[in-house]
Structure 1
Amino acid sequence: MDEENREPADAQRSQWQETYRSHPGMYGQAPSAPAVHAARVFRSAGAGSVLELGAGHGRDTLYFAREGFTVRALDFSAVGLGQLRDAARAQGVEDRVATMMHDVRGPLPLPDGIVDAVFTHMLLCMALSTEEIHALVDEVRRVLRPAGAFVYTVRHTGDAHYGVGTGHGDDVWEHGGFAVHFFSRALVDSLAEGWVLNEVFAFEEGELPRRLWRITQTRPR
């Protein structure tokens, strides 16, 4: 990542630590709509294990665990992961949840082909450079078994916050203290090279509302 983008990316760890500390369980207990979709996709593909990137305080992690999947939950916020572990114990699913603190700008700390499915909700559109996003998707492919499914969501360039606030280059815009890499369709298509692109689904979430794509793609056999 160039120096222009590294500063907001590094600042996001502290931003999220403080956000989770100030607003524990901030996203509530109900799973996101993309996670519900992903569980159906993963179950249809015969998946038993799920890797979730950017798990936060774990509303989707816990949903996958309640649905019977074993889940590896990665995040760079120790505060968020602590809340996730507490909730997993309270819900009686701690035996199906493992947490790891990790910054996805580095290689994933997992062996090749170890997981059946990968899910991430809005992590790829954090303050990552295009180069780092490509490197992360390459890592997802590496740790995913052949025919495994990858479901991810991103805010895109049709979102109301695109072009608003402080621009950091590379389609990264910071608004309200949070930096977002807004995806073009060309970026989605480039990330699907070497994969089977199953679906690009447009949806809205939250206030404004945020405009997102939910992408489902499969590693070839």
Structure 2
Amino acid sequence: MSDNGQELAAGQLRHWQSTYTARPGMYGEQPSAPAVHAAAVFRAAGARDVLELGAGQGRDALFLAREGFTVQATDFSAHGLEQLRAAARAQHVDERVTTAVHDVREPLPLPDATVDAVFAHMLLCMALTTEEIHGLVDEVRRVLRPGGVFVYTVRHTGDAHYGAGTAHGDGVYEHGGFAVHFFDRDLVDALAEDWALEEVHAFDEGDLPRRLWRVTQARPR
């Protein structure tokens, strides 16, 4: 990683840590719409063990646990995961949820072919370079069992914030303290090479609204 990349990554970690500390439960207790969709996809695929990347304070990880999945939740913010664990205890699903502080720029802390499904809501479009995103998707493929499903969401280049704020290069723009890598369709297709690309669904979220793609792809058996 370049010095500029390291500085941006460190700044984003500080920003998310302080945001989670200042705003516990900032996304509410209800799961995101992509998580509800992912649960149905995972159930249809016969999945039991789910890895969530960028779980944050845990609204989606907790929902998946309540739906009966065993969830491994990772995030680079220890503060977010502390809140997740407390909520898991309060909701009596702590036996189905484990957490790990992890930066997705590093290899995933799991052996090969050990999870049935992976979920990542707005994680791939954080302050990551295109090379780092490709490396992460390769890691997702490595830890998925054959036939395993990966559901992720990203903000795309049709979003109102694309091109706004501070430009960091490689499709990354910082707005309001949050750095986002905006995806074009070519990047989605490139990340699906050697996968079975099942769906690319466009949707809106929030008040702006944010414009996203929900991508579903499977590791071939």
What's the TM-score bracket when you normalise by the shorter of the two chains?
over 0.9
- Structure 2 unaligned regions, length at least 5: none
Map 1:43-82 to 2 at 5 A: 43-82=43-82
CA drift at 1:4 = 3.2
1:213 and 2:213 equivalent?
yes
Q: Secondary structure at the match of 2:138?
A: helix
Match of 1:111 in 2: 111
Q: Distance in 2 between matches of 1:206 and 1:189?
A: 26
Match of 1:200 in 2: 200
CA drift at 1:140 = 0.2
Match of 1:181 in 2: 181
Cα distance per residue 1:66-104 (max 9 Å; x no partner): 000000000011110000000000000000000000111
CA drift at 1:2 = 2.9
Q: Distance in 2 between matches of 1:2 and 1:194?
A: 29
Q: Is the 8 A contact 1:197 1:218 kept in 2?
A: yes
Match of 1:9 in 2: 9
Q: Secondary structure at the match of 1:140?
A: helix
The normalised TM-score by structure 2 is 0.99
Map 1:10-159 to 2 at 5 A: 10-159=10-159
Q: Secondary structure at the match of 2:14?
A: helix
Q: Is the 8 A contact 1:130 1:170 kept in 2?
A: yes
The normalised TM-score by structure 1 is 0.99
Q: Distance in 2 between matches of 1:22 and 1:47?
A: 35
Q: Secondary structure at the match of 2:147?
A: strand
- Structure 1 unaligned regions, length at least 5: none
Q: Distance in 1 between matches of 2:127 and 2:9?
A: 5
